Amino acid sequence: MESFFSRYRNPLVLLALLVAQIVGLAVQVRRVDSGRTSLDSQDPAGVRLIRLWANAIVAPPERAIHSSKLGAGGFWQNYIDLRHIREQNQDLQKTIDRLRLEQAALLEDARQGQRLQGILNFQEKYIYKTLAAQAIGSSGSDQSRVFYLDKGSAEGLERDMAVITPDGIVGKVREVFPHSAQVLAINDQTSGAGVILETTRIRGILRGNRAGQPQIVGILADQRIQPGEKVLTAGGDQIFPRGLPVGVVEKVVRDPDRDSFILVIVKPAAHLDQLDEVLVITSTQPRFSPEGLQDLATSEALKGPEAAAIKEQKKASEIMAEHLPGLIDPNAPPDKQPLLDNSNPNPVSHPPMPLHPDRFTPGAASTPTVPAPDAATPETKPKPKQTPPATPGQAKPATAPKPRDTAPRNP
């Protein structure tokens, strides 16, 4: 039997020659970076065609093998090896819940720290003595606006003490227990506080309405009251000190019960529905900071020399007044002495009255002398003395009254 190589010898030889020639060309020809092929040795280095062909033949199988390996590994990890994933998910969920609770607690502590820091700063700068307290509960009714504090009579609280925040007033202490106290808010219908409008200086009484809004009652209709005006405590109720912020005017409505009166709805400055920490004014005696006490001591120290200087000036003025000639005549009657104005601390003497006025004295006229009537000549009457006419600026000379005829007449 004829072999395969013997039968196809010529084609096989031709094929071998072609393959050798192609391989030789592939070894000699380069593929440059620009994509063209070149046989010139001066061209820059490139990739031989044989390497390109070898890469084109070997790369697809290698890519297929690598992709199949990755797919098998992913299938194993994502679908087969999942025995403990459920337990891990549960543990992770518990950890997430715990971290959320811790985050909320830390956030609340941070907010509380900010509020306490603000209250502490206000407490240090406020002139009256205050006590910090925590709001621990409310009345639970929409008709009653009261809440409870965690401080009581054991901490020095008493009835009718003012309760405030750094933002504004809150209410007053209504009931006191050993370790708690009940506070009546300003938006309750039974509350009351004396307030004054900052710009118009109109006074009124602040109390709550049925909707729980603070309102000022007992005010006559006035067009000057506008929304946005600040409301302050007036201090006349003997509970809230004067000048504390209450809120701002929200709107003005007519009083349905009285025609000529209005109701001023007030937006409270304090957050009455979100109270956490408050301050109770335990004493209205002013207290001063160390800097204020130092300034007060300095002013008191300077007050002594100033008072001594004023006293020396007064003494020197008295001595000078003793050496100056006086305008008082010791021989004149009291009604002729100059009048002194005692209402002025530095009295100024009025011009003295003339002791012997004559007709040339400004503001005065000479009084003529009248001779006494003679009993021997009863019918003779003295003639009045002729006086010259008064010049402008002078008073009219006085005329002596006629003497009364007391002599007996002949029958």
- By CB atoms closer than 10 A (0-12, 13-18, 19+), residue 280 is buried
- By CB atoms closer than 10 A (0-12, 13-18, 19+), residue 197 is buried
Taking Cα atoms as reference points, which of 194, 211, 195 lies closest to residue 145?
211
Residue 126 in contact with residue 169, Cβ under 8 Å?
no
- By CB atoms closer than 10 A (0-12, 13-18, 19+), residue 144 is middle
Residue 157 in contact with residue 282, Cβ under 8 Å?
yes
Would you state the pLDDT for residue 381? 47
Q: Which of the residue ranges 63-77, 116-130, 287-301, 371-385 would you say has the lowest mean pLDDT? A: 371-385
Q: For residue 200, is pLDDT > 50?
A: yes
Would you state the pLDDT for residue 393? 44
Instruction: Report domain extents, the chain.
Output: 4-74, 126-283
What type of residue is 19? Answer: V
The more confident residue out of 129 and 28 is: 129
The more confident residue out of 19 and 47 is: 19
Residue 149 in contact with residue 136, Cβ under 8 Å?
yes
Query: Residue 254 to residues 23, 215, 220, 242: CA-CA distances in angstroms?
Result: 109, 12, 10, 28
Q: Which of the residue ranges 13-22, 136-145, 209-218, 228-237 would you say has the lowest mean pLDDT? A: 136-145
What type of residue is 151? Answer: K
Helix (H) or strand (E) holding 249: strand 245-254
Q: For residue 410, is pLDDT > 60?
A: no
Residue 192 in contact with residue 299, Cβ under 8 Å?
no
The more confident residue out of 70 and 229 is: 229
The token pair at 310 is 């004023």
% the chain with pLDDT above 70: 66
Q: For residue 327, is pLDDT > 70?
A: no
Which tens digits make up the pLDDT trace of 132-159? 898 888 876 667 789 999 999 999 899 9
Would you state the pLDDT for residue 177? 93
Confidence of residue 340 (pLDDT cuts 50, 70, 90): very low
Q: What is the mean pLDDT of residues 222-242?
A: 89
| Domain 126-283 in CATH 3.90.550.10 | no
Which tens digits make up the pLDDT trace of 365-374? 444 544 444 4
Beta bridge pairs of residue 183: 147, 173
391-399: which pairs have CB atoms within 8 A and are 24 or more residues apart? Answer: 393/362, 394/359, 394/362, 394/363, 394/365, 395/363, 395/364, 395/365, 396/365, 397/359, 397/365, 397/366, 398/365, 398/366, 398/367
Which tens digits make up the pLDDT trace of 159-186? 999 999 988 999 999 999 999 999 999 9
Which tens digits make up the pLDDT trace of 54-80? 777 888 888 888 888 888 877 777 776
Q: Which of the residue ranges 48-57, 186-195, 291-300, 304-313 would you say has the lowest mean pLDDT? A: 291-300
Residue 193 in contact with residue 240, Cβ under 8 Å?
yes
CA distance linking residue 398 with residue 187, whole number of Å: 81
Confidence of residue 124 (pLDDT cuts 50, 70, 90): confident
CA distance linking residue 355 with residue 365, whole number of Å: 13
Q: For residue 83, is pLDDT > 50?
A: yes
Return mean pLDDT, the chain. Answer: 76
